[in-house]
């Protein structure tokens, strides 16, 4: 409040708007309906990203979009069509022929380029959602977002220098040494102490701030000893700084079973990149599936919010899919920007529409359109 008693004008944010492909366009349009109704004051700047730009320019995440992301407070991202395109397949696209290109997922590149190391995925069962696995599930997944098996250091054609080093250093590998380089492939899992420490710390800080009781560290340290061992060891060190919070740990495979058996034994989960990817889909399914999984890719300077789902080309242009995941991602963006009052209002309105059950998209057993869901939520704001 200003001295005159008038409310100070709200900050005008600069938000990168990256709809991407397929239904990404529709769900982002739905999120705009609720942001506008909240009177969130922003300059939305469109950014090109996705399959279309790969086909036209050989780059799904063009430099101009990277530059845009350097100039914004935050970004909303829809979805992109990620296809595992090998160089040979790119040769079949006339515009890309002869350029030796390999498709890399733009979102994975974005996470690395902007060091968006914290992938935050809250999974809450809103009362009345017919898709809830059980009522009252309220899990929060912290996924390391820049390293691990996503490091991008991979070899389809293993170079002889690497084969030689491996043969020298690893007994089992010596047997492969003389295999032609295209008879095996290597994807490296790289986990650093720093990368592990900061995501684990995020999880504990969150638990402390929001009064959560337990942080469960998900790994496979019994087999993947070096990298997951480092992750678990780091977690034990970090946990010492939070005596009020219980630390628990579980192997990823057992975790999947136990989560289904008793989700109420868990609270905050933290995992290296790939296990976090897997476990967050499982948790999202327990609270309604693709229509409800929201995600923040958060770094020190930039954060990009998105629904966890993909671009669902088969539903593209039909106004069919549930926009709630994206609307909850918008709520996460508001919170991250410090607009927590708006964020809370948006969540309350979304929860009210779910509870009422009058407006439901096809996944929830209803026939309402994407925009109708957004308008129903906006009407409660
Ligand atoms: C996710 C997705 C992405 C990932 C894909 C689209 C590259 O599954 O955000 O969870 O693996 O991280
Ligand atoms: Mg995933």
pLDDT value at residue 25: 95
Contacting residues for 351 by C-beta, under 8 A, at least 6 apart: 126, 127
Of 104, 33, 139, 26, nearest in space to 378 by CA: 33
| Closest C-alpha to ligand 1, atom 11 | 277
Contacting residues for 197 by C-beta, under 8 A, at least 6 apart: 234, 237, 238
Nearest-atom index, ligand 1, CA of 82: 6
pLDDT value at residue 179: 85
Query: Residue 274 CA: which ligand is closest?
Result: 1
9 CA from centroid of ligand 2 (Å):
39
Report residue 191 as tokens. 């986990």
Please list, residue by residue across 230-245, b when 16 or more beta carbons sit within 10 angstroms of its beta carbon and e when fewer do: bbbebbeebbeebeeb
State the Cα–Cα distance between residues 47 and 68, nearest whole angstrom.
7
Encode pLDDT of 61-113 as tens digits. Answer: 999 999 999 999 999 999 998 766 665 666 666 666 766 667 778 999 999 99
Domain parsing of the chain, residue ranges: 1-120+290-381, 154-187, 191-286
Encode pLDDT of 251-291 as tens digits. Answer: 999 999 999 999 999 999 999 999 999 999 999 999 999 99
Q: Is 108 in the pocket of ligand 1 (CB under 6 A)?
A: yes
Q: Which CATH architecture has domain 191-286?
A: 3-Layer(aba) Sandwich (3.40)
48 CA from centroid of ligand 2 (Å):
22
pTM for the model stands at: 0.94
Phi-psi region of 290 (alpha: psi -120 to 50; beta: other; left: phi over 0): alpha
Q: Is 82 in the pocket of ligand 1 (CB under 6 A)?
A: yes
Residue whose structure tokens are 């705009």: 32
164 CA from centroid of ligand 1 (Å):
33
Mutate which of 107, 149, 296 to test ligand 1's pocket (most atoms within 8 Å of Cβ)? 107
State the Cα–Cα distance between residues 186 and 87, nearest whole angstrom.
17
268 CA from centroid of ligand 2 (Å):
18
Query: Residue 308 CA: which ligand is closest?
Result: 1
pLDDT at 191 over 90: yes
CATH topology of domain 1-120+290-381: Isopropylmalate Dehydrogenase (3.40.718)
Encode pLDDT of 358-374 as tens digits. Answer: 999 999 999 999 999 99
Query: Residue 121 CA: which ligand is closest?
Result: 1
């Amino acid at each position: 409040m200003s001295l005159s008693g008038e409310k100070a004008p709200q900050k005008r944010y600069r938000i990168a708007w990256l709809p991407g492909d397929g239904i990404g366009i529709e769900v982002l349009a739905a999120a705009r309906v609720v942001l506008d109704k909240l009177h969130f004051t922003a300059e939305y700047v469109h950014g090109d990203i996705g399959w279309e730009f790969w086909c036209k320019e050989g780059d799904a995440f063009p430099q101009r979009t990277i530059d845009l992301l350097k100039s914004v407070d935050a970004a909303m991202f829809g979805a992109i069509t990620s296809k595992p395109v090998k160089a040979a397949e790119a040769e079949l696209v006339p515009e890309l022929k002869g350029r030796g290109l390999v498709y890399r997922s733009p979102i994975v590149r974005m996470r690395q380029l902007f060091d968006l190391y914290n992938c935050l995925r809250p999974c809450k069962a809103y009362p009345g959602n017919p898709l809830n696995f059980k009522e009252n599930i309220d899990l929060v997944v912290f996924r390391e977002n820049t390293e691990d098996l996503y490091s991008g250091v991979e070899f389809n054609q293993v170079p002889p220098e690497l084969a030689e080093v491996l043969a020298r250093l690893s007994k089992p590998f010596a047997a492969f040494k003389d295999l032609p380089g295209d008879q095996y492939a290597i994807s490296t899992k790289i986990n650093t102490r720093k990368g592990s420490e900061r995501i684990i710390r995020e999880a504990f800080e969150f638990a402390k701030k929001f009064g959560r009781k337990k942080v469960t560290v998900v790994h496979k340290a019994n087999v993947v000893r070096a990298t997951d061992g480092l992750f678990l060891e780091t977690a034990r060190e970090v946990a010492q700084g939070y005596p009020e919070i219980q630390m628990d740990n579980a192997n990823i495979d057992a975790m999947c079973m136990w989560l289904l058996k008793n989700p109420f034994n868990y609270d905050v989960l933290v995992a290296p990149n790939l296990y976090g990817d897997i476990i967050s889909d499982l948790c999202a399914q327990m609270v309604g599936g693709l229509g409800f999984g929201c995600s923040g890719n958060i770094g020190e300077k930039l954060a990009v919010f998105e629904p966890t789902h993909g671009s669902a080309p088969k539903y593209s242009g039909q106004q069919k899919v549930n926009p709630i995941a994206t609307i909850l991602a918008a709520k996460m963006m508001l919170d991250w920007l410090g607009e927590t009052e708006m964020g809370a209002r948006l969540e309350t309105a979304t929860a009210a529409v779910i509870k009422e059950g009058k407006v439901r998209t096809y996944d929830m057993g209803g026939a309402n359109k994407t925009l109708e869901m957004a308008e129903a939520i906006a009407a409660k704001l």
